[in-house]
Amino acid sequence: MKPTRTTGSVIALWVFGVLGVFVAVLPLLAGPYAQAIGRSVLTYLILAVSWDMLIRSGQLSFGIAGFFGLGSYAAVMAGKWLGMAPILTLLLAGVVVALVAAAVGSVVLRLRGMYFAITTLALAEIFRIIIRNWNNFTGGPNGALLSGVIFGGNAAATYTLMLVLGVLAIAASEWFEHGKMHFALTAIRNNEVVAKSSGINIYRYLLIAFVITSAMQGVVGASYAQQFGFVTPESSFHMNYTLIPLALALFGGMYTSWGPVVGAVILGVLGEYLKLYIPYGHLIVYGLIIVLVLLLMPKGIVGLVRARMREVSHD
> Quick check: 278 binds other proteins (CB under 8 A)?
yes
Q: Could you give the CA distance from residue 285 to residue 184 in angstroms, rounded to a whole number?
A: 35
First to last CA, the chain: 11
| Closer residue to other proteins (CB): 65 or 74 | 65
Cβ neighbours of 109 (radius 10 Å) = 23
User: Residue 58's closest CA among 123, 111, 119?
Assistant: 111
**Among residue numbers 83 through 112, which ones bind other proteins (CB under 8 A)?**
107-108, 110-111
Binding of other proteins by 307 (CB under 8 A): no
One residue of 87, 164, 298, 304 binding other proteins per CB under 8 A = 298
Residue 62 found at the interface with other proteins (CB under 8 A)? yes
| Neighbouring C-alpha atoms within 13 Å toward the C-beta of 166 | 26
Which residue of 45, 60, 200, 225 would you call a contact of other proteins, by CB under 8 A? 60
Q: Does 115 bind other proteins (CB under 8 A)?
A: yes
Q: How far is the CB of 15 from other proteins (least distance, A)?
A: 31
Is the Cβ–Cβ distance between 10 and 129 less than 8 Å?
no
Query: Per rule CB under 8 A, is residue 132 in the interface with other proteins?
Result: yes
Give the nearer residue to other proteins in terms of CB position, either 3 or 281. Answer: 281
Residue 167 or 239: the one with the smaller Cβ distance to other proteins is 239
Site for other proteins in 237-266 (CB under 8 A): 239, 243, 246-247, 250
CA pair distance 297, 195, nearest whole angstrom: 29
| Helical H segments across the chain, by residue range | 2-30, 32-55, 64-82, 86-108, 113-133, 135-138, 155-177, 179-190, 192-197, 202-228, 233-236, 240-252, 258-277, 284-296, 300-314
Q: x/- site string to other proteins, residues 39 to 58, per CB under 8 A?
A: ----------------x--x
Give the binding site for other proteins (CB under 8 A).
55, 58, 60, 62, 107-108, 110-111, 113-115, 117-119, 121-122, 125-126, 129-130, 132-133, 239, 243, 246-247, 250, 278, 280-281, 283-284, 286-291, 294-295, 298
